[in-house]
Structure 1
Amino acid sequence: MTWTAPEIDRRHEPYLGDERAMLEGWLNHHRDTLLDKCAGLTVEQLRIASVPPSPLTLLGLVRHMTVVERHWFRERFGGENLPDLYDFHADPDAEFNTVDTADAEADFAAFRAEVAAADAVAAGRDLDDVFTTRRRDGGTHQINLRWVYVHMIEEYARHNGHADLIRERIDGVTDS
């Protein structure tokens, strides 16, 4: 039996609300949009790199956003010391490059678990709560929770654009 990505009841972006409601609402909308782009596809379809020469796949995007959720909310903001989900020492793009042997059902479950964990870390925290993080040049700077929300919305928006193109190439769907 072939596993198929489940359908999702996508939450829509908020039209009214305070800053926190807007940030959480837009982030949830983009999280759901990525899952919606995968809905109804088989594992084989989720693994299709449909824009050669790029190895980008829908399953790879789900795995990548799982890593990004974990990194920014739990590791950086929450200060948790967590093991890597993939062998990034062997391959810095492991979440994208190992989809041919990936367990899609487990990857979708991991995505949902990381989203829930990210939400739990941010719950009740002030958008102005600050943490110190390393820059790529080795220095450090301070970032607040508000920045994390804005960055995550931007990250999802960019990758959902990729997902739009990949999904259209796979089966012609453009309205999800």
Structure 2
Amino acid sequence: MRRRLTSDEAELWSTVARSITPMHNRHLQLPDPVEPTTPEPQPVKQPAQSRIPAFRLGEKAAPAPAAPPSDPLRMDARTHQKMTRGKLAPEARIDLHGMTLAEAHPELIRFILNAQSDGLRLVLVITGKGKGVADPVPRPIGALRHQVPHWLRLPPLALSVQQVAEAHLKHGGSGAFYVYLRRR
């Protein structure tokens, strides 16, 4: 359904239509201005509904829905529990401290693929926690710590890696990752 012009719009259109001349097709007939009509009533806008449910003072809040895990468990629950509690010892480790992202990525790929071909299941990737640098250019703190989990989910490592989890405190805590490899 086409919208009708208001009286102000129709008056403006007729003024513009009288003042123009066609550039190419001089014998082109311009449409007659539309007669003003009574404007159609605009629908009344309803106020936006709040995403917060209504409540009364003193009422207990409903429990929040559980958030889905960021990395779904793809390995045996008992083994995962032992791994996150630090009960499993990593079979190999790589320390990426002091490396740039460009140096660390190929080293990580080489390490993971060699570890899987050697039949290892649990390896430790030490990234460090990172430290803030007083630079005028903002950079993420701990660039390796943020980038390594992404690299492990991308090819060619995604086919080799079964599970990634933050290491136990005795193996480096938040500055290291357990990488559980698939069987060859």
For CA contacts below 8 A with separation 6 or more, give which structure has more relative contact order: 1
Q: Give the TM interval when normalised to the shorter protein.
A: under 0.3
Larger radius of gyration: 2
Give the TM-score of the pair, scaled to structure 1: 0.22
Give the TM-score of the pair, scaled to structure 2: 0.22
